[in-house]
Structure 1
Amino acid sequence: MKQFVAALMWCLSWLPFSVISLMGKALGWLLYHLAGERRRVGMINLGLCLPELTESERQQLLRQHFQHMATMLLEYGYCWYASPERLRRMVRLEGEEHLRAVAGRPVILFAAHFVGLELAGIRLSADLPMVTIYSKQKNRDLDAIIVEKRGRFPQSELASRQDGVRPLVKAMKRGKAAYYLPDQDFGPDDSIFVPFFGVEAATVPALPRLARLAGAAVVPCMVRRENDGYVLRCYPAWEDYPGETVQVDTRRMNAFIEDRIREAPAQYFWLHKRFKTRPEGQARYY
């Protein structure tokens, strides 16, 4: 199985970006009609977060999202096998001056779950000493492939989510920038409830804690898919962060993500059960 997946991704890596895009649209159309449960989750999420849209508009947005997600899966070939030069052409970096402004300090590149997250992370690791978090997979072959391909550049390092934040902090203090995406529901343990589009969402408040432990600058970034590739945009490092309370700091994180979602709503991970964990006494959404 491992060899088959690797061979398939190697073949896909040779295809032009435009061809992968066409294949992704076709595969996404099929998945939209077959994945009824995920379609239901997506519609619930869109109804909660973007209630100003009509149901027809949310359906159209979700169709586009399935196409983006399918394209992302096919782009794993690029993630695993594209050369550094090709990755630089495929993912254009904007706002490099914001990284240079915090040179010499530990850095957290704070991102969110948009469809280009994997390709952007690999592209950054081609040029920067990086540490990224990953979740260990139950399938050993799949886990081995993820570790091998995500860490395929010499200055890359992976830290397992199951090992906690200590390896991440140590790597940052050794000069590696942490690529960190804390915007999913990982259950009630170590989470706090913070509004996300006005809905109380279980959110891991690790970003301000990591910044404090490592003495790190937080540089927000966003990756956005365009017709001929991706743009990875870095924003100025947050001032006065972390602030007075973890609650306020975590809300600031969610507010940034909300603003980026409004810029490219079809590219956010709407199929994740973001509101799965509810405050005590509240009804479930899914």
Structure 2
Amino acid sequence: MRARLVKALLRFFALLPLPANHALGAFIGWLAWVLPTPAKRITRINLDLCLPELSPAERRRLARRSLMEAGKTLTETGPLWYWPAERIRALLVGTHGAEAVDRALAAGYGAIVATPHLGSWEMAGHFGAMRWNITVLYRPPRLQALEQVMRTGRATLGARLARTDAAGIRTLYAELRAGRLVGILPDQDPGERGGVFAPFFGVEANSMVLLPRLARKSGAPVFFAVCERLPRGRGYRLHFTPAPGGITDPDPRTAATAMNQGVEACVRALPEQYQWNYRRFRTRPPGEPPLY
């Protein structure tokens, strides 16, 4: 029942042109702000932890704006999974830095694109398929019935998907050996066995070791990609920046720290579009109390 409801909502969101879709998403996010929601509580905790240099009033304003952007993330999933390829292509109004990825792929070593939960990461994956041959690592949704919808939607423009399991990781290595592009979300909690604690905005965060390990073993350069959501549903603009050099350090904590610094730099450039309502610090070092 729940999966059918989610699918129906996504199809409804896909009926709306992007300006109306984003307006609805902003309204949903505003409701999440004015009501006593878990998303509001988590957002405020994260902003207090990560951006203490802002005044309380500035953090409140940022929390409200970020929840409105989170609402857009929800509603835009409909068109980005259900619209035809040509209609999705028309949403991209510009790119910056993609030529560096072109050059890296031309060198034959493959490349890794790290896309934080910032802006429209769904659109970033579509662009990777539009311009290159990309394989994207994904974590299956909690509702198993939605996995095929997700896979089909993310493959609309030709992206290939690899699950977060041993077979999926082998696929990523094979793609890099073949000189192709892989995409990873670098700012998820990887679970107790898949990460190492490293600072993120000055707070110890369980951070993935997979991305630095892929880069070190394959020799593939890493780029951070952010798909900026433009105001009033005017489309998207994609930005690419090289990752910090320390991301291939053999010490896991040093490499994860460099990776987190890359994510931080992306977030500071567009803080209102980061997914602050995600429980990024739910896994704590031994002996530390929970933060949420």
- Give 1:178 deviation, angstroms: 0.8
Q: Which residue of the other structure, out of 272, 282, 285, is the alignment partner of 1:276?
A: 282
Question: What is the distance in 1 between the residues matched to 2:111 and 2:97?
Answer: 15
SS of corresponding position for 2:157: coil
Instruction: Please say if 1:158 is aligned against 2:161.
Output: yes
Aligned to 2:59: 58
- Give 1:138 deviation, angstroms: 4.1
**Deviations 1:104-161, CA, capped at 9 Å, x for gaps:** 221101121113111221232233211111112343321121122212334x211111
SS of corresponding position for 1:165: helix
Instruction: Please say if 1:246 is aligned against 2:252.
Output: yes
Question: What is the distance in 2 between the residues matched to 1:5 and 1:188?
Answer: 30
Aligned to 1:235: 241
Aligned to 2:120: 116
- Compared with structure 1, are the counterparts of its residues 144 and 88 closer, same or farther at alpha carbon in structure 2 (3 Å cutoff)? closer
Instruction: Please say if 1:125 is aligned against 2:125.
Output: no
Where does structure 1 lack aligned partners over 5 or more consecutive residues?
none
- Give 1:251 deviation, angstroms: 1.1
- Compared with structure 1, are the counterparts of its residues 35 and 189 closer, same or farther at alpha carbon in structure 2 (3 Å cutoff)? farther
SS of corresponding position for 2:223: strand
Where does structure 2 lack aligned partners over 5 or more consecutive residues?
none
Aligned to 1:267: 273
Q: Is the 8 A contact 2:187 2:208 kept in 1?
A: yes
The number of residues matched between the two structures is: 285
- Give 1:171 deviation, angstroms: 2.7
Residues 16-25 or 108-117, more deviating:
16-25
Residues 69-78 or 136-145, more deviating:
136-145
Structure 1 runs of 4+ with >4 Å offset: 1-8, 237-241
Residues 165-174 or 226-235, more deviating:
165-174
Question: What is the distance in 2 between the residues matched to 1:140 and 1:27?
Answer: 25
SS of corresponding position for 2:101: helix
Q: Is the 8 A contact 2:119 2:274 kept in 1?
A: yes
Aligned to 2:175: 171
TM-score normalised by structure 2 residue count: 0.88
Instruction: Please say if 1:16 is aligned against 2:28.
Output: no
What is the letter of the counterpart of residue 280 of structure 2? R
- Give 1:219 deviation, angstroms: 1.8
Q: Is the 8 A contact 1:98 1:237 kept in 2?
A: no
Q: Which residue of the other structure, out of 174, 199, 216, is the alignment partner of 2:220?
A: 216
TM-score normalised by structure 1 residue count: 0.90
- Give 1:8 deviation, angstroms: 4.6
